Structure 1
Amino acid sequence: MDAIEIRTLHTLLASPYRQQIELQHVLHQADYVTLRVRIREQKRFTIFDIDEPTARAWGLAMLEWADTLAQSGQVKAGEGK
């Protein structure tokens, strides 16, 4: 692996299936930075690195989705009907 520095930025537990999500700042030997997304679901891990434009687009898309749900009054995960 070519990472020379990995720093955890945020860890959260996603509902309703309790996946653990960890966001990491990764500095690579080739002098570039990625956002590493690690998703743990029981014993299985999904790990991938994304660049800044992808992280920005993904984050905005998730915010738009969450805002749409909030504005529509739909039930959030973990809340009863």
Structure 2
Amino acid sequence: MPRVTPVTQLRVPLGGQHIELQQVDHDAGGMSLLRTRIREGSRFTVFDVDPLTARAWGEALLAWARSQPGPAP
């Protein structure tokens, strides 16, 4: 049974989606994974990513956010 530790929760203001990030650690060991759960109404999308993918994804999100007009994140 994996241990799931909450990381953060976000709500998308325009679409109303609820995003949860959780760290997943398996009892057998191995690397921790970052679980992303997106809820849209009654529908859920859930996927787990490794640290390298999470870093690349996070950097891409930050690069995009920084390129947008308005206050810096």
Question: So what's the TM-score if we normalise by structure 1?
Answer: 0.79
Match of 1:21 in 2: 19
Matching residue's letter, 1:16: L
Question: Gaps spanning 5+ residues in structure 2: where?
Answer: none
Match of 1:63 in 2: 62
Aligned length: 69
Give SS of 2:68's match.
Answer: helix
Matching residue's letter, 1:11: Q
Question: So what's the TM-score if we normalise by structure 2?
Answer: 0.88
Partners of 2:13 and 2:47 lie apart in 1 by 21
Match of 1:52 in 2: 51
CA deviation string 1:26-68 (max 9, x = no partner): 1013312100000000000000000000000000000000000
Quote the sequence identity (%): 46
How far apart are residue 14 of structure 1 and its match?
A: 1.1
Question: Gaps spanning 5+ residues in structure 1: where?
Answer: 74-81
How far apart are residue 13 of structure 1 and its match?
A: 0.1
Larger radius of gyration: 1
How far apart are residue 18 of structure 1 and its match?
A: 0.8
Matched, 1:10 2:15: no
Partners of 1:30 and 1:55 lie apart in 2 by 22
Alpha-carbon RMSD across the aligned residues, in angstroms, is 1.1
